[in-house]
Amino acid sequence: MVISPLTAKTHINRAMTKLHARDRAQLVVLAYESGLVTPRGF
């Protein structure tokens, strides 16, 4: 699956708006806290 960089930026900006996140780093924190993603073990 391939999407354009502009499409990716649009999705990120919409997620930030809906979740009231101030930046992409906060989106990552929210994803971890909600259990959407889990850290990989090395």
Where does the pLDDT of residue 16 fall: very low under 50, low under 70, confident under 90, or very high at 90 and above? very high
Say whether pLDDT at 10 is over 90.
yes
Tell me which amino acid residue 30 is: L
pLDDT at residue 25, rounded to an integer: 96
The two tokens of residue 22 are 């101030």
Average pLDDT value for residue range 26-42: 90
Question: Hey, what amino acid is at 11?
Answer: H
Between 26 and 1, the higher pLDDT residue:
26
Q: Residue 6 is which amino acid?
A: L
Mean pLDDT, the chain, rounded, equals 93
> Which of 18, 1, 7 lies closest to 26, judged by CA?
18
pLDDT over 80 (residue 42): no
| pTM (predicted TM-score) | 0.75
Cβ atoms 27, 21 nearer than 8 A: yes
Cα 27 to Cα 33: distance, rounded to the nearest angstrom: 10
